[in-house]
Chains A and B, each alone.
Chain A
Amino acid sequence: MNIDLQLRAIFSNLFSIESSQIHSKLSAADVDKWDSLQHLNLVVAIEEEFGISIAAEQITEMLTYELIILLIKENLELID
């Protein structure tokens, strides 16, 4: 599993951006289509892609690309 590659694919499809534009500090402020609704879709897409479950509290913590990667890793380890 390559978390970075999979997450990049989700980002570029949901937000219509090129993979090259994605960097670790990327946040909603940098991306036009990253609004509150697409944020929810991001949550659901990540849950499906990685087979994890994100708590309501964590949804608001998903502020940057880097933080989201961390959150995924954390959740994956919890499952193991």
Chain B
Amino acid sequence: MKTATEELKEALHKASLHNVIKALGRLTTSKRANFPPPTTTVCVLRNHTVDNLVWFLKAAAELRQLTIECALAPFDQLMQVILDPTSILHKPQAEIVILSLVLEPFTNHNSNFTVSELITRLSEIIQALRDNTSAILVLNTFLVPVVPTQGISTARNSSSLEHKIRQLNEWLFSICQNDFRTFVLDFNQIEAQLGSVYALDWRMWYAAKSILTNKFLVKYAIEITKIVCALKGRSKKCLVLDADNCLWGGVIGEDGLEHILLNPTEYPGNIYYEVQKLFLTLHDRGILLCICSKNNEADVWEVLEKHPHCLINRRHIAAWRINWLAKPDNLISLASELRLDLDSFVFLDDSSLECGLVSQTINEVHVIQVPKHIWEYPEILIKEGLFDTLSDTPEDHMRTQMYLSNSLRAVEERKFAGAEDFLRTLDMIATIKLAAPNQISRIAQLTQKTNQFNLTTHRYSEIQIEKLIRSNEHEVVCLTVADRFGDFGLVGVAILWFDNKVAEFDTLLLSCRILGRNVENVFLVECINYIYGRGIDRVKGTYIPSLKNAQTKMFYSYVGFTQLPTQTATQHFELRLTQPITSPHSYIEVRR
């Protein structure tokens, strides 16, 4: 019998609403009674019939281990819902607003409208949303007719419907280029993926104001889910590659360097060459590339170092397991070397056996099999949006470098008997300062992505961080760390809330790549001393348990916080200060 998840995947793939409903029902009764995942609140504002999106959104989110609570606003009551503080947009406050619009209600089915008057009306709606919510906005482009509306002179005619819609769409794109909380999904691309016949249902449009088919709504839901994943820190961080028939065509151990397929001017070498370009793009965006291959290690490195068309070099590979061990074991050991969770891993392999083995033994790892139709290979890597993030920050680009220096450090670590002895030799410098505007994007990203060392797991968007920095009652404190091997960049964030004579840690987090060197202790002490310096002697801390952060449960006790009695899973801690606390680790130099 199929598992509930497999059933859901299949129902969604077929865009079959009643099967999706059935599978969702099976899922919610079968699992997670005691540990429900955090919920994302979504509200759909719309001027067309799009009701089934709610189901498909729940399903698509479920398949990426997210729970979505989705409200559907009444038909074509955009401004009313936005401005009414008691409407379903505000109760509960939506984190993501889908503004799902089609053109016809704005134009009364009259193609004589002017672009500028429509932009004015749309701007009012978007501005009202910005003023009245702090949600992420997801807009969509308008559908360009697939049959030329004015026959052979359509392209020539600048007042054609097509021309005006394209101008509107360009304007929509320009909005999201200037505003990091707005996303624009291109409906025309979704339509093109499916083919217009499968994407739009004119019968239902004329009969019930419902133009988008279930197939279209499923794709729409998947695109929205990608944004939710990025917002909730579910972006994948590491891509583990097989070598033969994955990085190149053929088997290096049998075919030899001369005969493997990687030539950009020949089929099918051109496909593998194209795919390597994609890997490089991911690497440049900060995704870690690893190799996990059953091969002679020297053979693989020979290709990476000597093959004239191999774009991936040894320096792009953050870690590797080239041996004859079972791949699930190798993945587990890669995760521990890189200090990453297995659920941030994507495993790519051409063998259905290896793929099956990994997905059955390690549920968290996302498995992709190189397609049998090899020409579909490049597209399969990007279409799921597994590595999408809300922004590309410079730290992303540096990340592989940092993990590489971490590997060097791991080698050094083995030379020393005690960990403290080793830490002493690193010449660590911890710089602790209030946040600067150019750090907003990285701070928001850390709150979204950090899971393990995160006391409260509050997720913030860039706009929220910006507000916190400007707020008089809050301070956002940043930790940057460097040692003699390199610079880690911004790796820790504390958000302090000052309420009268009490200070409280709203957020306290450290990136996992900096853990294991006692920097977290120094950071906490420095934050407390900063609070004391502002004349406050009472400090509160909270631990909110999540699936990942158990290691931080007693962190506040480390510097002498008292744990307050409670009946709930959330733990509260408090500290009274009479003097500053001395730094616990003299080998970490502190700069303020």
Contacts and interface: CB of A to CB of B under 8 A. Distances in A.
A44 interface: yes
B208 A40 contact: yes
Interface string A40-70: 1100110010000001100100000000000
A36 B203 CA distance: 15
A37 B50 CA distance: 10
A14 interface: yes
Interface stretch (B16-24, B181-189, B493-501): B16-24
Contacts of A56: 203, 206-207
A74 to B, nearest CB: 18
A14 B203 CA distance: 21
A13 interface: yes
Contact of A13 (B19, B203, B214): B19
B52 A41 contact: yes
Nearest to B15: A48
A63 to B, nearest CB: 16
Contacts of B22: 13
Nearest to B204: A40
B591 interface: no
B210 A13 contact: no
B51 interface: yes
A22 interface: no
Contact of A37 (B19, B21, B51): B51
B458 interface: no
B583 interface: no
The residue among A37, A44, A56 with the most chain B CB atoms within 10 A of its own CB is A44
Contacts of B52: 41
Contacts of A44: 17, 213-214
A10 interface: yes
A29 B214 CA distance: 26
Looking at chain B's contact residues, the main secondary structure is helix
B17 A36 contact: no
Contacts of A13: 18-19, 21-22
B270 interface: no
A40 B447 CA distance: 42
A14 B206 contact: no
Interface residues of B, number: 18
Given A13-B19, A13-B22, A37-B49, A48 B14 contact: yes
Given A37-B49, A37-B51, A48 B16 contact: yes
Interface string A1-37: 0000000011001100000000000000000000011
Looking at chain A's contact residues, the main secondary structure is helix
A38 B17 CA distance: 10
Interface in B49-82: 49, 51-52
Contacts of A59: 207
A31 to B, nearest CB: 14
Contacts of A41: 17-18, 52
B208 A36 contact: yes
Contacts of B210: 40
A69 B324 CA distance: 59
A36 B51 CA distance: 12
Nearest to A9: B18
B285 to A, nearest CB: 39
A41 B203 CA distance: 13
Contacts of A36: 208
A9 B206 CA distance: 29
Contacts of A40: 49, 204, 207-208, 210
Contacts of B14: 48
A37 B17 CA distance: 12
Nearest to A39: B208
Contacts of B17: 14, 41, 44-45
Interface in B133-148: none
Contacts of A37: 49, 51, 208
Contacts of A55: 203
Contacts of B213: 44
B311 to A, nearest CB: 44
Given A36-B208, A40-B204, A41-B18, 14 more contacts: A13-B18, A14-B17, A37-B49, A40-B49, A41-B17, A44-B213, A44-B214, A45-B16, A45-B17, A48-B14, A48-B16, A56-B203, A56-B206, A59-B207
Interface of A: 9-10, 13-14, 36-37, 40-41, 44-45, 48, 55-56, 59
19 contacts: A9-B18, A10-B18, A13-B18, A13-B19, A13-B21, A13-B22, A14-B17, A14-B18, A36-B208, A37-B51, A40-B204, A40-B207, A44-B17, A44-B214, A45-B17, A45-B18, A48-B16, A56-B203, A56-B206
- Which are the 7 A-B pairs with shortest beta-carbon distances? A13-B18, A13-B22, A14-B18, A56-B203, A45-B18, A10-B18, A56-B207
